[in-house]
Amino acid sequence: MEEEEIYNLEESSDEAQSKEESRLTDPKEDPEEQKIEINLRPQKLSEFVGQRQIKEPLSISIEASKKRKEPIEHVLLYGNPGLGKTTLANIIANEMDSHIRVTAGPALERVGDLAAILSNLTEGDVLFIDEIHRMNKTIEEVLYSAMEDYALDIIVGKGPAARTLRMPLEKFTLIGATTKLNLLSGPLRDRFGHVFHLNFYETEDIKKIVERSAKILEIDIHDIASDIISARARRTPRVANRLLRRVRDYAEVKHNGIISEESTANALGMLNIDQYGLDQVDRKILACIIEKFEGGPVGLNTLSAAAAEDMDTIETIYEPYLLQIGMIERTPRGRCATRLAYEHLNLEPGNKKQPLNFKGWKM
């Protein structure tokens, strides 16, 4: 692949480029990835690596609820994609010996969809609503009484003759997951007994996840190779697992299946993933802020148009990690590239003569 193409921002809408394997797309779009993800998913809280700030209070609540023979209070999980929200929801249901019903905000189109799900729950069931911030307002209101009073308020009839019927529900636990807590309305947020924030993982924890996954997938991996993968996994378990599988593919074809320092470095080089775990889209975004907007500030809308990347994708997938590692800063007037970003891309502030097709970034 030629760097020229990567940094030619005028032509960056090229679809072929953006469909690269190394992209951080959602596994929901890929059934194969989804299947592997399910296999790698820890089933018990004790197997869930890291996030101690969640595991401790959660295990106490689970134990206490089980003692009282009551369902655990409603749980809201929020954090960036791939940090373990779906995994945790399944673990909670598992540890409570409950059945889990899974749905997602956008899948609930009418009030009746949610009413049907709720009225079919039996005592102690877990209802998992993924992307709960994308639920429509009228549907959300049905949840209020369901969560608080375990009742469904249904309006029957129209005009002056309309009456509200209250239908009792079994005691259940709602687990909501969201990447955007700020989009959740106050009344909904207040009805969760537990609100847990998933952080980016420490590199040691990512390494434990890589080693655990390698064991499950029966992959022979050198210690140094798992260090390299962990360092480039954007502090995110989903990315770590994906890199591990890509490196395995590469090693099987080119290095007799041995995942060594060399095969790992070569595989990640082929995927254009650099020492910070950035891929070509991250670098395109940074280059765009620097080259086209003189380092910023630039609004998300403008940036998304200039870089030819979907705004939501930039906001939920790329930006949080770039902020986390200090490559960009968010100011009231927009996003700015930091000194680290200039250094990483080998660009000088104020030097507009830099060619667009620089090859300076460090692998």
**CA separation for the pair 13, 270 (Å, rounded):** 21
Q: CA separation (Å) from 285 to 6, 22, 211, 291, 306?
A: 11, 16, 32, 10, 9
Q: Which of 41, 87, 130, 283 is catalytic?
A: 130
**Catalytic site residue from 41, 86, 234, 338:** 86
- By CB under 6 A, tell whether 176 contacts ligand ADP: no
Q: Is 211 in the site for ligand ADP (CB under 6 A)?
A: no
Smallest gap, in angstroms, from Cβ of residue 226 to ligand ADP? Answer: 14
Q: Judged by CB, which is closer to ligand ADP: 48, or 276?
A: 48
Beta carbon nearer to Mg ion, 12 or 86: 86
Using CB under 6 A as the binding rule, whether residue 105 contacts ligand ADP is answered as no
Question: Does residue 219 belong to the site contacting ligand ADP (CB under 6 A)?
Answer: no
Residue from 191, 235, 238, 283 carrying the catalytic annotation: 238
First to last CA, the chain: 15
130 classed as catalytic? yes
CA–CA separation, 91 and 281 (whole Å): 33
Nearest residue to 134 via CA among 91, 191, 176: 176
User: What CA–CA distance (Å, rounded) separates 103 from 312?
Assistant: 21
Q: How far is Cα 321 from Cα 206, in angstroms, rounded to an integer? A: 15
Of the candidates 50, 105, 124, 176, which one interacts with ligand ADP according to CB under 6 A?
Answer: 50
Helix 111-119 and helix 137-149: axis angle, to 10°? 20
Q: Is 40 in the site for ligand ADP (CB under 6 A)?
A: yes
Work out the number of other CB atoms within 10 angstroms of the CB of residue 352: 7
Choose, by CB under 6 A, the member of 84, 124, 296, 320 that binds ligand ADP.
Answer: 84
CB closer to ligand ADP, 12 vs 241: 241
Site membership for ligand ADP, residue 246 (CB under 6 A): no
As a whole number of angstroms, the distance between CA 280 and CA 193 comes to 41
Pick what 335 binds: ligand ADP, Mg ion, none; C-beta below 5 to 8 Å, kind-dependent: none
- 178 makes contact with ligand ADP (CB under 6 A): no
Q: Which residues have a catalytic role annotated?
A: 85-86, 130, 179, 238
Q: Note the residues at the interface with ligand ADP (CB under 6 A).
A: 37, 40-42, 48-51, 81-87, 209, 237-238, 241
